[in-house]
Amino acid sequence: MGGHPDRYAAHGAEGRRAMVRAVLAGGGLRDPAWRAAFEEVPRHLFVPCYFVGPAGREERLWCEDPDAGRRARWLRGAYADEPLATRIKDGTLVSSSSRPSLMGRMLEALDVRDGHTVLEIGAGTGYNAALLAHRLGDAAVTTVELDPEITESARRHLAAAGRRPAVVTGDGARGCPERGPYDRIIATCALPSVPGTWLGQCRPGARILAPLADGLVALDVRETAHGPRAEGRFLDTPAYFVPLRGALPLPAQLQHLGGLPGRIVENDLFRFLLTLTVGVLDPREALSLWQREGHPRRERYGITVEQGRQWAWLDDPAGPYAWSTPGDVSRGGA
């Protein structure tokens, strides 16, 4: 769309209204401010092309396709309540636009207030940063992305939508201290652990919302005699994101679970516990805990982060079920 008038503006507005109705019907976007953002920020400007279909046989849909029918499919897909694969490199998904209903859930859980500043980890297409900028103003939003090609693409999309938050190329695991401190930090990429460096960039009373172990954890930050401490529970919803670049992949024990019943291995809540305890509990120990505690849902688990130390827990951070999370990615990321 490269600086030209948006020829899809009218149909895009219709698509946004339909998308918001669908999300509302599913119980989302109860906050009028976020509802207005989703109604007014044109998602199609952030996904000028994307891929559909099974891995290895993806079909590319884009806004400049010479076939009118395929262009119509592209525009419909841009406003479906579905995640969109926007960048694939060497057969691996490296960037996407998340499902709008999940984005709305995350933004509402972030609990922003007028005057807050926000750091977003993972610029992606720029769409989430645009929604934040609509709510808080461009100057209040900083978004960080490791890949300079993705950074530049997000910047172009934002400009086409009339938004200019700070778009920074850098390692999100290290945050962006030069633009801090922040009232809120939101990550839109999957993390193996919460980087400790983020705590030093937070104001007291800040909130961190991040995908971890295929869930979403909301941490509230407070000052203690020993420095900042972030603690909170997981939301009840599953969440699957492109991993933070530079983070280590999950160990092989999650790929090979032979010996456990298939119905157990495929259970979403059990796999969440496996991912959360990877490298600490073996699968059978995790299964024993899961069964003993009555198949706990995500919201019974939480995370505590202090400088140099963090742990996950079930029910109580000082209770009997607590375990270390993987190493601090801010110390060895890309």
End-to-end CA distance of the chain: 32
Q: Is residue 333 part of a domain?
A: no
Q: Is residue 244 part of a domain?
A: no
Q: According to the model, what pLDDT value does residue 332 have?
A: 43
CATH number at 28 reads 3.40.50.150
* Same domain, yes or no: 49 and 128: yes
Q: Is residue 72 part of a domain?
A: yes
d(CA 199, CA 80): 36
Q: Is residue 306 part of a domain?
A: yes
Q: According to the model, what pLDDT value does residue 236 have?
A: 95
Per the structure block, which two tokens stand in for 310? 């963090």
Q: Is residue 243 part of a domain?
A: no
Number of domains present in the structure of the chain: 2
Q: Is residue 238 part of a domain?
A: no
Active site residues: 95
Per the structure block, which two tokens stand in for 18? 């339909």
* Same domain, yes or no: 42 and 104: yes
Regions in the chain scoring below 70 on pLDDT: 1-5, 244-259, 261-262, 327-334
- The range of the structural domain enclosing residue 284 comes to 252-327
d(CA 94, CA 147): 10
Helix axes 32-40, 9-25, angle to 10 degrees: 150
Q: According to the model, what pLDDT value does residue 259 have?
A: 64
User: Could you tell me if 295 and 324 are in contact, meaning their C-beta atoms sit under 8 angstroms apart?
Assistant: no
